[in-house]
Amino acid sequence: MKAPLSILFSFSVFSLFGQAGPNSPATTANNATVGTLAWNTPANIASSNNAYASVASTGNTNYLFGTNFGFAISSPSNIDGIVVEIEKKELNPSNVAILDNWSNGLTKSVSAGTNRYLFVIVALENGGGVVRDVTAMTYGGQAMTQMFESNSGTPAGFHDKLEFWGLNEAGIAAAVGTTIVPTYAAGVLLENVEFFTSISMQHVDQIAPLSDIRSSFSNGAVNPHQLGTAVTTLAGGIAMTGVICGNNTTPASLIGATNTYTINSGFTEGVDIYTANPSFSTSGISVQTATKVIAANGSEQPTFNFAGSPNRHACFGINVQRARALDNEVRLLKSGSPAGNNLGLTATAWGTTDAYTSYGGPANLWGTTWSVVEINSSTFGAALAARRQNGNLEVDHFRISIYSTSTLPIELLEFTAAPFGQQVKTNWVTASELNNDYFIVERSSGDGAFMPVGEIDGAGNSTSILRYEFYDPNPLSGISYYRLKQVDFNGQTSYSAVVPVYFEQQNTVSVYPNPSIDGVFTFLQTSTAIVNEVAVFSADMKLVKKVVLTEGEQPIISITDQADGIYFLIYTGSDGKQQVRKVQKMSREY
């Protein structure tokens, strides 16, 4: 007959699903299997203490390895997900800056600099409903990239068009000469006007130089014309605008004259010009460009106020982005080597202050499978490779959390056994139970054979913390060993770890009456060990008296001369062992 279920209390938890960590690496290293830039002081990622593994050169870094995280996931368990957190920052990045200011025409000298970018704006007007189009462009023989184009006009009439082209640092460095060469699509030219202007900047992101591009147009006498949608601007960048109108100013400007548009608040005007095809008196376009340094994240939606009566507008707004520090790879290490998917945020800039970035998730296995042995291994870890374009790369800390599901029929949090009076008390706690029928508490004298001493029903299925207790009423003297056996409904079993217990039978005595009205107490001896000596202490543990008893003498202690209150009788038996009894003296009954 199994004992009734004994549960002290329970409360809801996260079922079988658990998190281990976050843990820190005990072993760190620079690994040169990727990239060309070595990390300085990789050991600094072992803790979050503002000491950094760092890189100060431009390019792709080696792997920064962190391993030996000290996990001890219980087996059997399923590994459900892994979260890596990397504390990192980009130190003192340089903001985008103008290197060579605006110049007009088809030549451009670009000065020496870092992370340079050359931007060319083409303003075109053509009649007869034919849209003039630049299909390719080179600088010093290097192919440029068209970033966008926008046009306005009427189906059979004139069209105004803006095109925006760019060339990165690698192209500028490889250029031979300073000539800009456009290639045009075939088409009939009617009163055609073309205008080229260019600007170069440095500290520009070489992967995504423009973080936002907006353009809009209007046909008709809309003045002023506002950019249709605001440009999202980022700290450390430069906002740039351009606008074209197919009319002359009022009063009419000569070719090459300025002041065709009013400058937007906060922007610095670059080009502001009226130009025309001298062969056609009715031709002409007004063009303006401008830039603005961006100190903080925000937006810009400029308004273009034409100095006359416009017939059509085409305009753009962009944000030139500061060169960023970027993840190149973030991977897990299995048996000391990168494995699974790269979860690096390759398009997200590092921040400029220390902060953790999380990778993976509680249900993300990074594209591979994991065993408990692999997770618990000293060769398990994480690796970071980065791309430095600007500032210094600094990594303060790696940490990893493991999410797992126990596949045991019970998730046993603890099993304890200890003397409790004349019994041994066993306690255990389960975090979850699955098809759990009952528990058996087993005991061994140390000969390797375990015998059952009691049974308690299990909870069957549970997703709550449950606490159990069982008392062994007849423990063995000396050292014995206890363990917990768990039995499923299908008869399968599992065992806890073995717990040793030292138990010694005690010789006890009783004291009566207690409380005593007259302060006289008598010891009733219940074992062969007789009382040899009694010491009386007051409640504040001051010795009141000591009595030595002769063999065969009735052990009676009198404290009639003491005040009412609590006293402690510490008696010593013939076996030399001591016991304590708490007594109370009262002058009257209550």
Supply the DSSP string of 331-383, one letter for each residue: EEEETTEEES-----TTSBPPSS-EEEEEEETTB-TTS---HHHHHSTT-EEE
Q: Which of 4-13, 216-225, 510-519 has the lowest mean pLDDT?
A: 4-13
Give which of 104, 140, 139 is closest to 122, Cα–Cα: 104
Secondary structure class of 34 (helix, strand, coil): coil
Q: Is it the case that residue 412 has pLDDT exceeding 90?
A: no
Separation CA 585–CA 565 (nearest Å): 5
Mean of the pLDDT values across residues 272-293?
91
Instruction: Tell me what pLDDT residue 463 has.
Output: 83
509-585, what's its fold? Immunoglobulin-like (2.60.40)
**Most confident stretch, 243-247, 522-526, 555-559, 560-564:** 243-247
Residue with tokens 């007007």: 125
Separation CA 485–CA 306 (nearest Å): 89
What would the pLDDT profile of 327-383 be if each residue is shown by its tens digit? Answer: 999 999 999 999 999 999 999 999 999 999 999 999 999 999 999 999 999 999 999
Q: Is it the case that residue 134 has pLDDT exceeding 80?
A: yes
Q: Is it the case that residue 2 has pLDDT exceeding 60?
A: no
Where is pLDDT greater, at 123 or 19?
A: 123
Distance set, CA 136 to CA 107, 163, 192 (Å)? 16, 11, 19
Mean of the pLDDT values across residues 291-296?
97
Q: Is the pTM of this model over 0.75?
A: no
Share of the chain above pLDDT 90, in %: 66
Share of the chain above pLDDT 70, in %: 92
Which homologous superfamily is 408-503 in?
A: chitin-binding protein cbp21 (2.70.50.50)
Q: Which of 13-17, 225-229, 367-371, 440-444 has the lowest mean pLDDT?
A: 13-17
Instruction: Tell me what pLDDT residue 575 has.
Output: 67
The tokens for 90 are 């980009």
Residue with tokens 């997900």: 81
Separation CA 351–CA 343 (nearest Å): 18
What would the pLDDT profile of 204-253 be if each residue is shown by its tens digit? Answer: 999 999 999 999 998 888 899 999 999 999 999 999 999 999 999 999 99
Integer Rg of the chain from CA: 43
| Average predicted confidence (pLDDT) for the chain | 90
18-92+325-405, what's its fold? Jelly Rolls (2.60.120)
Q: Where are the domains of the chain?
A: 18-92+325-405, 102-320, 408-503, 509-585
